[in-house]
Structure 1
Amino acid sequence: MSATKKSHVAALTFPFASHPSVLLHLVQRLAAAAPSVTFSFFNTTVSNQKLFSRIKLHGWDNVKAYDIYDGAPEGYIFSGNPLEPINNFINATPGIFKKGIAEVVDETGLKITCLLTDAFLGFSVDIAEELGVPWVPFWTAGPHSLSAHLSTDAILRTLASAGKAQTVDRTLEFLPGLSAIRASDLPIELLNGNYDQPFPKMLYNMILALPLAKAIVQNCFDALDPIVTNDLRSKLDKVLNIGPLAFPSPKSSSEFEDEFGCSAWLNKHAKASVAYISFGTMLTPPPPELVALTEAIQEKQVPYIWSFRDDPKLPPLKEFFERTSDIGKVVPWTPQLEVLAHSSVGVFVTHCGWSSLMESIACGVPMICRPFFGDQKLNRRVIEDVWQIGVGIKGGVFTKDGMLNALDLVLSKETGNRMRANIAELKQSAEKAVEENGSSSEDFKNLVEIVTSQQDVL
């Protein structure tokens, strides 16, 4: 089939955690804004199966998902190490994407006119150059972590000069807007400097590639942290803040459709009284922490709705869920944005993933933070010490006393009122950003223009 003059955007995913779902959300928004553009969404088979078990592409005639190889060797058996599938995937790139793109171009007759990718995939700049098209990376985390990654070399030099004894508590006051961040908050991949390993090497190659991008997209809004945003814009060609990507609709505050009856259950509870608990798509706290969390909830008698992906029949959780069935609801999945937007939800117990953080801000719900890896510790620091819209669990892991204290701070004490006031201000700023002429709306228009500006590419 011969090529025609039509825009064709290839979207390349990093197929782990929430990365594919966030990129797909952006693709769907772009597809709605540019219905004449074709979007091809490349993701591994397993990740696509998980993603589209919840999200349907019906009605998105200009979006099509394609499976690519995940890099697992023949006969591979997962050992339980979460880095294994990531390393397998990285080792198979960029070849798996080049092969997928070539097959789709041959199938559709439409040459690629723009490459929209997860920012982790820094090698995409080379693919884009080979194709003669713009590369637009999407940074799915927050501006603070992007700033830290871009300053990797400066951070490592500074920490090396400080000596090991001072490294953990060393703050990043030498970076604009990051004075509250400590070395211990940074992702381990940034700190270890071991670029022989696939994942750290991929991230370091990403920071070398980002200055070559046509534009860098963030799920953020300008008013969230202007100092960090302005610093990023001084270092990178075009930073487009288009968030919050997910914003609740008016119906979210009372009624919404969901298969597990979350809406009906929430409607029975008083304003800001319920704890919503979710640790994302990949995480479950270890059993001792789960016990501590449940003991605190039971003692405090806080109504809760828990998105629990593991087996709820395992002891001691089975007994806890049975004992607290009068105040709690456990489900395998929730429509998170709609749950957070419900007026009865007063606190979000979270792992501090960036997408969850932005949804919490969009809905005005303060957070109790138990971060695990990646940018989550850094996000917790910003939530607690910069924006003051939540509290971290003392000691970094769930204990009964730590959780009781956190619940008391957010739901009962004057501190909680200040958190709610602070997050209400951020929510208002987010609402202004996504208004018709708001900063995020204008940046999104710029993104649409970039994506659709290659109509004459052959």
Structure 2
Amino acid sequence: MPQTDVDAAAAAAADPDHVAVLAFPFATHAAPLLAIIHRLATSSPNKHFSFFSTEQSNNSIFSIYKQNINIKAYNVWDGVPEGYVFSGKPQEHIELFMKSAPGSFKKAMEVAVSETGRKVSCLVSDAFFWFAGEMAEEIGVAWLPFWTAGPSSLSAHVYTDLLRETFGDGGVTGLEDELLSLIPGMSKIRIRDLPEGVLFGNLESFFSNMLHKMGRALPQADAVFINSFEELEPSITEDLKSKFKKFLSIGPFNMISPPPPVADAYGCRTWLDSQKLASVAYVSFGSVTTPPPHELVALAEALETSEVPFIWSLKDNSKVHLPDGFLDRTTSQGLVVPWTPQSEILAHRAVGVFVTHCGWNSLLESIAGGVPMICRPFFGDQNINGRMVEDVWEIGLQVEDGVLTKHGLLNSLYKVLSLDGGKKMRENIKAFKQLAKEAIGPNGSSVNNFIALSDLMIMSTSSKDEKVTSNTFLEPRFTSNQKSQENQHSYL
């Protein structure tokens, strides 16, 4: 046997821990999961992590980090058959991937076990993979799902059955402004703020069913971990602790492990250095969403009329929708660029407000920068995040009537940048920033939860029956689009 194989066999015998990580390869799911795995791998150099995602996802996210010697990426099929023609059905690519995912993950995990000589000792997954609980149970290891958004949106999915029993499923017309006082910590959240697929929208869509199954499955997990800190949403956090075996807030990741500095190709930082304190509006709606053309026009008109200095992250192909002459007239007022180093911009002293879609990662970056928000949510958890920002945390505003208008945005910019209300928002968000710093500091809640998560990975096989042999690695008892409903019961 070659010396390298001897060394590998000796390492496996000395420390058999092999954590399989199943990533959801769409939107901003895989990158935060890799961030926490990177931290865990650094703190546990003898533990091996196999990270499974699609080739496109792996190529993108692994370029950010220097690869740890104890993390290896494995590519899984994206689920799109050769020659497949997309029909334009919403979330069609996600549905194709999810239908193939159990089998694809199984095959890739078998390859990882064969290459490392270590059977899987713990299964970490994106929370969307409700089927991972059965996979973990079958091989006798702990299941540790990761929820990429905030506690409030997670609570909505956990309480879906109760919400449907209370308000009906699909018949909430006229009840949109009803408050969700029946859920701890959600007394200021309205039905209209819920993610689609809980009480309204197509409740029978693949995505809605996936999230419903997830909400039912997560209470069976050995622990659910999340990119947040307990002090941000204490009531909801305590309630979720009562619903799950363990609920571990281990963030904010952007403050614990800031991404490495990136090239500022468009000179944003240099431009900000010449601006006054807390005077600049930073505008970005993430990498997935762009407002419709009439809202882009309204946003441009509001910025120009306000004379507020701005940086606007806008894809080049969307500039055609801007008012004629806007770019020329505002060259001395602001920058319109296709990409920005967002976390660094939000940390700059000159930025006074963040006009955002209110995605969870952007929200946490805004807290880290101490910058109040003007929220224009679009889908998913963004509406509930926006409601928390305005009415619970009081660290920003939602745009009037949920859409960008010239008058509405002018009013919001004035409130945040000019009035005492904006001063209060800045004080509130800086207080949350301080709580986040304490959570990730010595003996902080997130640090202690991270240690608990790491311990669960180490001890995962000690509390499980040893079911695995080289020939019974994993064989899901369900098809990719059908899960047995036997033994399912209410989590309430």
1:20-419 matches, cutoff 5 A: 20-52=30-62, 55-160=63-168, 164-192=172-200, 196-247=204-255, 258-311=264-317, 313-316=319-322, 319-419=325-425
SS at match of 2:371: coil
Q: Structure 1 residues 93, 251: closer, same or farther in 2, change over 3 A?
A: closer
Contact 1:31 1:39 (C-alpha < 8 Å) held by counterparts: yes
How many residues are treated as equivalent by the alignment? 454
The aligned amino acid for 2:334 is: G
- How far off is 1:313 after superposition? 4.8
SS at match of 1:42: strand
The aligned amino acid for 1:25 is: A
Alignment RMSD (CA, Å)? 2.5
Unaligned regions of 5+ residues in structure 2, if any?
469-492
SS at match of 2:317: coil
Moved more, 185-194 or 118-127: 185-194
Structure with greater Cα Rg: 2
Contact 1:272 1:343 (C-alpha < 8 Å) held by counterparts: yes
Q: Distance in 2 between matches of 1:90 and 1:228?
A: 29
Structure 1 equivalent of residue 490 of structure 2:
none
- How far off is 1:325 after superposition? 2.0
Structure 2 equivalent of residue 453 of structure 1:
459
Q: Distance in 2 between matches of 1:146 and 1:201?
A: 15
Q: Deviations over 1:147-189 (max 9, x none)?
A: 1111101111211299745421111001111011111111111
Q: Distance in 2 between matches of 1:193 and 1:295?
A: 32
Q: Structure 1 residues 231, 304: closer, same or farther in 2, change over 3 A?
A: same
Unaligned regions of 5+ residues in structure 1, if any?
none
Contact 1:258 1:334 (C-alpha < 8 Å) held by counterparts: yes
Contact 2:170 2:200 (C-alpha < 8 Å) held by counterparts: no
Q: Structure 1 residues 401, 62: closer, same or farther in 2, change over 3 A?
A: same
Q: Does 1:8 align with 2:14?
A: no
The aligned amino acid for 1:218 is: I
Q: Deviations over 1:402-427 (max 9, x none)?
A: 11111111111111111111111111
Q: Distance in 1 between matches of 2:121 and 2:258?
A: 37
The 4+ residue runs of structure 1 with deviation greater than 6 A are 248-252, 455-458
Q: Distance in 2 between matches of 1:325 and 1:33?
A: 48
Q: Distance in 2 between matches of 1:454 and 1:184?
A: 40
Q: Distance in 2 between matches of 1:242 and 1:140?
A: 11
Aligned identity (percent) is 50
The aligned amino acid for 2:29 is: H
Q: Structure 1 residues 147, 169: closer, same or farther in 2, change over 3 A?
A: same
SS at match of 1:234: helix
- How far off is 1:218 after superposition? 1.1
Contact 2:296 2:321 (C-alpha < 8 Å) held by counterparts: no
